[in-house]
């Protein structure tokens, strides 16, 4: 969100004429945090904002649990069905979706964690099910993240913010390489 173009407050205060492009979109952002930080479900926070702001739709971004070491930090999942925070690590929370918010939800997810069973099964080229049977049950619920995850997240955040800024911009882009 740090790199998003978020002009809602300016549009609300001064109108669309505050920008050279009269068709600027009214975009706002929110970083609700995790329940351990806030004591609230992410959905509760987002529902409150949606009821006040009344957006046309919500874009949510979250980390995912990978099912392959090859997907860590290099796959972007885009859906229109929302997202269930924590579901990849067995900590299911309430879904952030159209049914719960009353507006369409675009969900963007990037695999940043992986479980020990997947790492071992990828390494020995065996099925997850067979690997899970051979491993200690204590390791079956262990999730890890690559040691360079901070740099990976920073890089991917830049990529996503540029894409989202372009998606919500009304400017014509003739050349995306600039």
Please determine, for residue 175, whether its predicted confidence score (pLDDT) is greater than 50.
Answer: no
Nearest to 149 by CA among 110, 91, 122: 110
Q: Average pLDDT of 110-138?
A: 85
More confident residue, 159 or 133: 159
Residue 19 neighbours by CB under 8 Å, 6+ apart:
7, 10, 11
Nearest to 100 by CA among 87, 86, 83, 88: 83
User: Mean pLDDT: which of 11-25, 61-75, 129-143 is highest?
Assistant: 61-75
Q: How confident is the model at residue 104 (pLDDT cuts 50, 70, 90)?
A: very high
What is the percent of the chain with per-residue pLDDT over 70, rounded to a whole number? 86
Q: Average pLDDT of 69-74?
A: 87
**In order of start, what are the domains of the chain with their CATH numbers?**
31-167 (3.40.50.1450)
pLDDT at 89: 64
Query: How many CA atoms lie within 13 Å of 71's alpha carbon, on the beta-carbon side?
Result: 18
Residue corresponding to tokens 């204590």: 138
Please determine, for residue 34, whether its predicted confidence score (pLDDT) is greater than 50.
Answer: yes
pLDDT at 87: 66
Nearest to 83 by CA among 71, 69, 65, 67: 65
pTM for the model stands at: 0.77
Displacement of CA 76 from its chain's centroid (Å) = 9
């Amino acid at each position: 969100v740090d790199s998003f173009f978020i002009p809602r407050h300016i549009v609300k205060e001064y109108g669309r004429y505050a920008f050279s492009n009269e068709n600027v979109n009214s975009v706002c952002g929110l970083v609700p945090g995790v329940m351990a930080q806030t004591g609230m479900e992410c959905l509760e926070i987002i529902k409150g904002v949606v009821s006040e702001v009344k957006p046309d739709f919500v874009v949510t971004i979250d980390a995912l649990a990978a099912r392959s070491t090859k997907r860590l930090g290099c796959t972007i999942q885009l859906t229109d069905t929302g997202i269930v925070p924590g579901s990849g690590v067995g900590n299911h929370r309430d879904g952030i979706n159209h049914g719960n918010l009353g507006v369409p939800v675009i969900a963007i997810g990037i695999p940043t964690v992986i479980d020990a069973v997947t790492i071992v099964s990828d390494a020995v080229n065996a099925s997850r099910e067979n690997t899970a049977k051979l491993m200690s049950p204590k390791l079956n619920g262990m999730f890890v993240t690559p040691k360079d995850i901070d740099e990976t997240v920073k890089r991917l955040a830049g990529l996503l913010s540029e894409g989202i800024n372009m998606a919500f911009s009304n400017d014509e882009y003739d050349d995306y390489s600039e």
